[in-house]
Structure 1
């Protein structure tokens, strides 16, 4: 802390005083304040936004690794990734991980790996260290480059306290390079075991289903109808013939009954018809106008008459 002010000396009393006019942090305190200000600025701009984090691919084709060459971080990532997924492939981008050259080198490495279509995920790794050694990973250029990358980025700087700002924009923050490796690739042996368990369950279910269907088929085949199906058909044929015989008899009875009723109605109609009356010896007498005459006293002498008999007609004149 640097404090500015003015000394005052009061001679009669022998007193010395100091009036403070300014105070300013320097060293670690000043640096932390600058980082917090940068963090607040980037969050206000939307550069730091947890909702923008991308999911890590389940099984990356190629892993981009930004770290120092032959470092412990590189060895930890390679060892743990290859133990879990022996066929994993890497694209390396070696950079200084501290000092003035760190930030620009990391920015260039991010751009290079992000432009490679074969790289599915990028790990930025360093095996911890003093806070000042990690300051390059809080550089605004590095943070903005990581936030703008289309490829998911894993930050594995390995510093729990006073973590770098890179952790805030990374899609996944790993506590160590080893933790990064375990989260970037699945354990193939474990996955194969799980697949084997699923396959075994499927095989067992299929076996149970086949057994149950086989038992059901055996039961069906053991039924009498299946041992001699013609017996069933013969029974049904006999039932059909009986039904047809009953139907034919019912139809014949209905026809006979309707025929008798028709004859009765026909005879009744015939007995009531005018022709039946004529057949019994009666006749119908009409005048020349065709009017039926039923009262002889009203017929004048000389009136021409038409007499209708059962068979034929007679023309006559009244006396």
Structure 2
């Protein structure tokens, strides 16, 4: 930072010189239009002193205006206005003030038009997108509540939530909920609750009011502050018809503070009844399952194979015995048949064999005395003096050939 070369630690400017230079520099500024909210209106005999505050920041500006102008415009504290004037520096006190020569009250229609323009802007940026909204926890450990001190909204939220779920805890941040102090205080409380790791959900609650009373909840800075929160935010502003912009930015919009309390925690009586119903359904389902399985086991046990496991073996044993008996009879019949065949064959062999022939008086003559001698078939095979073996029916004799015949 550079200083004026005409000044130094050895040759400083006196206060009057600095004040004069500042006054001349400010005089070169042209007139401006400024919008804000009146926080103080003091109308004296000739001059009125006013304070104009930015509704979204802790910044204010001192105004001076003709008292007649203030009376004719019927200005009151808390009113939104647009003023026209020129800055002036009071040389004696070293203060800056805006000398006002025209005041225009901001009407409801114009306020609503500005809110609609801001609504379109925020919607275009995606702050209203349902995809970015988060679902609050079903059973929050701690609820952060931003509301007016000792307000009906605080009473409704805390009382209804504690009645529905007695274990719920609250961290309450009391702030202004209308006027120029509302937005800065709500933003500070919102930031403090968002940084608290114990807070699971944040509720911004306020009762009903006029359009002017609910203006802080359509402020751009507050909407963007809610959008930046990492903790889910529930908006419960006014009544059902009231829809400030923060309702669209918040993760959950409640119609009233009471509705917000109902959305925060479940009803312990309803949950107990629901749990009892689930237990009853589970018990019935378990009993039905056991009955089905028991019936299945009974049917399985009633099957012959399980009712009398040896019955199948016995049936098969009977079948085996029948088959074995049938086999024995078949074999016996076969043996009898074969024995009969053998007897027939034996009889045939006996009838056709040599023994039967020998028994009828015939004999077998062998050309030699040995058993194995060949059978003599012709007289030419025997010469006088040969020893022959003659086999008869009951034995054999030896004979000698005398002469052939």
Give the TM bin, normalised by the shorter chain. 0.5 to 0.7
Match of 2:191 in 1: 111
Deviations 1:41-74 (A, max 9, x none): 2222223333322223222222111112221111
From 56, 77, 83, the counterpart of 2:136: 56
Instruction: Report which of the two structures shows the higher radius of gyration computed on alpha carbons.
Output: 2
Matches within 5 A, 1:274-289: none
1:203 matched to 2:271? The reply is: no
What is aligned with 1:122?
202
- 1:149 paired with 2:229, answer yes
Contact residue 158 and residue 174 of structure 1 kept, 8 A: no
> Which of residues 301, 304, 309 in structure 2 aligns to 1:229?
309
Of residues 123, 145, 170, the one that matches 1:43 is: 123
In 2, distance between residues paired with 1:223 and 1:49? Answer: 66
SS of 1:205 mapped into structure 2: helix
1:178 shift after superposition: 0.2
- 1-structure distance, mates of 2:299, 2:243: 72
In the alignment, is the contact (CA less than 8 A) between 2:161 and 2:262 conserved in 1? yes
Question: Where does residue 270 of structure 2 map in the other structure?
Answer: 190
Cα shift at 1:243 = 6.4
In structure 2, the CA distance between the partners of 1:119 and 1:33, relative to structure 1 (3 Å rule), is: same
Conservation of the 8 A alpha-carbon contact between 1:50 and 1:169 = no
Q: Distance in 2 between matches of 1:75 and 1:247?
A: 103
Once residues 127 and 308 of structure 2 are traced to their aligned partners in structure 1, the CA distance between those partners, rounded to angstroms, is: 83
Q: Deviations over 1:70-94 (max 9, x none)?
A: 2111110011111111111112222
Q: Which blocks of at least 5 consecutive residues in structure 1 are unaligned?
A: 1-23, 254-319
Q: Does structure 1 residue 71 correspond to structure 2 residue 71?
A: no
- Judged with a 3 Å threshold, the aligned counterparts in structure 2 of structure 1 residues 144 and 233 are, in CA distance, closer, same or farther, namely same
Q: CA 1:206 to 1:26, structure 2 compared with 1: closer, same or farther past 3 Å?
A: closer
In the TM superposition, residue 160 of structure 1 has moved relative to its aligned partner by 4.2
Give the gaps of 5 or more residues in structure 2. Answer: 1-103, 335-405
Distance 1:25 1:93 in 2: 32
Residue of structure 2 aligned with 1:88, choices 153, 165, 168: 168
> Structure 1 162/123 Cα, relative in aligned 2: closer, same or farther at 3 Å?
closer
Residues of 2 paired with 1:224 and 1:28: CA distance?
91
Hey, what's the Cα distance between the residues in 1 that align with 2:153 and 2:133?
24
Structure 1 range deviating more: 215-224 or 152-161: 215-224
CA RMSD of aligned residues (A): 2.9
- Asked whether the equivalents of residues 67 and 125 of structure 1 are also in contact (C-alpha less than 8 Å), the reply is yes
Note if contact 2:240-2:256 (Cα within 8 Å) is conserved in structure 1. Answer: no
Greater strand fraction, Structure 1 or Structure 2: 2
C-alpha spacing 1:219/1:33, structure 2 compared with 1 (3 Å): closer
* Larger relative contact order (CA 8 Å, sep ≥ 6): 1
**1:215 Cα deviation after fit:** 4.0
Return closer, same or farther for 1:247/1:152 CA change in 2, 3 Å cut-off: farther
1:313 corresponding residue in structure 2: none
Cα distance in 1, alignment partners of residues 200 and 247 from structure 2: 19
Shift of the 202–26 alpha-carbon distance from structure 1 to 2, 3 Å rule, reads: closer
Q: TM-score, normalised by structure 2?
A: 0.51
What is the total number of aligned residue pairs between the two structures? 228
Contact 2:207 2:238 in 1 (8 A): yes
Equivalent residues of 2:201, 2:234 under 8 A apart:
yes
User: C-alpha distance in 2, partners of 1:56/1:144?
Assistant: 19
Task: Give the deviation of 1:35 after TM superposition.
Answer: 1.9
